[in-house]
A and B are shown apart, each in its own frame.
Chain A
């Protein structure tokens, strides 16, 4: 029998899912868009063409212009940088903090676990969105602030997943065996158990990115996002709200981009779930 590495096996299974592959393709395009923003944008994002306000989509303005005469396509292209960086960075933050704490709580158990579990439940109990807008209202609202806030408010969910996996895995034979061989706790946690617990973490991370993008867009829709004139998709939708009757593209074009981005992450996350561990299938 041909021997396949884990990565290859996962890729093989992942490739079979059409939505997952489509999602991955779209995400790669979006990442390219964010990286190549200066080349793809047809206008500077804050250039106001006052003579061309509310211009419908046309050759010069592919997705039309907004109420200040700014090119919507260019703003969407630049805005992808905010959405994607907030998504990736806050998920990375939540996953690393959540994995560390969840691993320690699950591995050691006892009072550590009790304290962590209660703390996590407490954080989860805070009405997140109220607290988010409260904090965001008073900080400077750089991309970094928003990443920090979204990341810190979602990490308890990762703690729960990782803790559960560790509780399950620490009693398995392979962990016992390396303990018997005299491995240190740190080694067992990072080299033995974590690789076995990584599948649900990767899936959760992918879905968290989509969630973070949704949260960021809702914050900026409410006016608590990265301050203007830098474009963020949520605030673009909000600015088009009053002009829906005659210029629907102002609100709907960035709205469509949020939708496509998040659904792509969800498709990829779902594909990964099935590919990494067929048992996890929902």
Chain B
């Protein structure tokens, strides 16, 4: 699926270079911005939207740094936004041009990645949590320790994201998920070695597939995937790990090199409109930070535990710099050794 998206992205690259009077080069996650929203924006404003996609925040960063294409609006996850702000790769957003920003819940403003609330606008919030097929697994599952038990060997799917894997072990050991030191990684190693042996599938793109087909019964997946599973069949219950759930905030930002800044602001305000934001929630059932849009959702949508879990504090990922390479090496080592 990732490769498929890459191919789509590459084929869209060609479109991005077509010079038009009014256009907006949007660089966003695959399967995250509904086509209806883009079409609606073009219809209303006449601004052509070129939607190029990526499958991970790191991929986005790599392509942005490689240059070559100019993007007007990007959609990084929190910890990538933090790096971009620190390196002055994004420009300040003019809040005066975004009258609809007032709908955003205050808890999602001024977060650690953008403490001054100058550079980003929250798009959607999600969590990484546990999905259980309650038809098969009858015992209560509360946290990571309940999932990664030897009796569930070969019945688990997890996202194929090395940093996520390491962060689950860190919080299980009572450590800070953002404290990637050699000492902490050596504590993570023996636990993660055992966990990796139990996993049947590593899949970031569509972990719900293995759960739906009955190939596995337990999963640690993105909440959006879990919400769709729950919509499909109520037997898939979503649990926030008792050891500590990892929430993530995907934001919108304008790169410093953007050429169509006015268009980018227009698009931002457009998707902040409650009725437009509702369309996004309909298609991608993550936590919508837009309170006015939430008021338009059905009771059933709001009751979906994967979309609106009870979270006290949003303890998000922070940038770890070169720690990403250490994590990659550790996980590659452990996957090879099994």
A binds B: no
